[in-house]
Amino acid sequence: MEALATAKKDEIEFILDRFRFHTDTTSVTQQINDKLLYLAVPDSKLDDTRKFVVGAYKEYKIASIVDGKKVIITYDTFRTQMGFERILRSSRSNEIDYDRFYDKYYHFQQMGDLSFLTSTFSHQLKDIGLSEEEVIDHGIEMLATADLIRDLKKEGDFTYQDEVRLATQCEMSWKKIHNQAHGTFNQNTSQSLLAAQACYDATLKKELKLKNISLPDGFSKGKFIALSDIPSIGWKVDWKDLYSK
């Protein structure tokens, strides 16, 4: 204060000319968000990441003042001591909550009036002996899986490439199982049905992974069922001739 009170006019103007006053806090928030987006922080994690960065800045500033030090923030200080690199890595991480599938499943299950009578997957399942109740259960898994994928896409946690990779993984796993199942049995009527049932059982037990993350059992089943509804997979040896639209 004493230095300011005794300063010359041109010295005061030199200082004041270098001040920038931001009275609209929204614009400051947006500027930070824009920078974080540029650094590949997903939309869904912008608010939390910004709060972590601002919190780290405040903590560093308070600690410096308490220690009687001048608050000087260099690039290296910001990057390492304030932990910006760690915050950035965390916000870009691929930890996706696939267990939300169970919330989706429960939601559709409570609707209670779902019917899949005209769906291709239901014809495929009934033709190998599954009950109406089992068909509905698989239909709910399919809906819950599709709904979760839609949400993850909006949040930036599931891309077109992820969808292609998951479908390819499903089809490759199914193809091996289908060949093994139908290669084991002679193709008379009873044996062929046993082969189709064996193909269905083994396929739906298959664990799927995405970015080295094991997917929930119901999510995996829902994806296989969705592909059988297109259909790009099937259980019988002649599924393509029987169910292709």
The whole-angstrom separation of Cα 63 and Cα 75 is 18
Average pLDDT of 41-65? Answer: 86
Share of the chain above pLDDT 70, in %: 94
The answer on 57 and 115 residing in a single domain is no
Residues in the chain, overall count: 245
Specify the pTM. Answer: 0.64
The whole-angstrom separation of Cα 100 and Cα 204 is 20
Confidence class for position 164, pLDDT limits 50, 70, 90: very high
Q: Which domain holds residue 201?
A: 100-243
* Statement: residue 134 has pLDDT above 70: yes
> Taking Cα atoms as reference points, which of 174, 169, 107 lies closest to residue 143?
107
The answer on 158 and 85 residing in a single domain is no
- The pLDDT value given to residue 2: 87
Residue after which a domain boundary falls, among 91, 118, 134: 91
* Statement: residue 188 has pLDDT above 70: no
The answer on 145 and 44 residing in a single domain is no
- The pLDDT value given to residue 152: 86
The whole-angstrom separation of Cα 109 and Cα 126 is 20
The answer on 81 and 51 residing in a single domain is yes
The whole-angstrom separation of Cα 56 and Cα 64 is 12
The answer on 215 and 116 residing in a single domain is yes
* Statement: residue 185 has pLDDT above 70: no
Residue after which a domain boundary falls, among 73, 91, 109: 91
Average pLDDT of 131-143? Answer: 95
How does pLDDT run across 74-116, given as a tens digit for each residue?
Answer: 888 888 888 888 888 777 765 677 888 999 999 999 987 888 9
Q: Which residues pair with 209 in a beta bridge?
A: 214
The answer on 230 and 165 residing in a single domain is yes
The answer on 234 and 166 residing in a single domain is yes
* Statement: residue 218 has pLDDT above 80: yes
Write out the H or E segment, with its range, that includes residue 71: none
The answer on 230 and 122 residing in a single domain is yes
The answer on 135 and 35 residing in a single domain is no
Residue after which a domain boundary falls, among 56, 73, 91: 91
The whole-angstrom separation of Cα 202 and Cα 6 is 86
Total tally of structural domains belonging to the chain:
2
The answer on 110 and 67 residing in a single domain is no
* Statement: residue 175 has pLDDT above 60: yes
What's phi and psi for 68, nearest 5 deg? 75, 25
> Taking Cα atoms as reference points, which of 213, 215, 193, 212 lies closest to residue 204?
215
Write out the H or E segment, with its range, that includes residue 106: helix 100-111
The answer on 143 and 58 residing in a single domain is no
The answer on 117 and 46 residing in a single domain is no
> Taking Cα atoms as reference points, which of 68, 64, 45 lies closest to residue 56?
64
Evaluate whether 96 touches 157 at the Cβ level (below 8 Å).
yes
When computed from its CA atoms, the radius of gyration of the chain, rounded to whole angstroms, is: 29
Dihedral sign computed on CA atoms, order 101, 106, 111, 114: positive
* Statement: residue 117 has pLDDT above 90: no
The whole-angstrom separation of Cα 208 and Cα 167 is 10
Average pLDDT of 47-61? Answer: 88
Q: Which two three-digit tokens encode residue 47?
A: 């608010």
The SS3 of residue 213 is strand
- The pLDDT value given to residue 93: 66
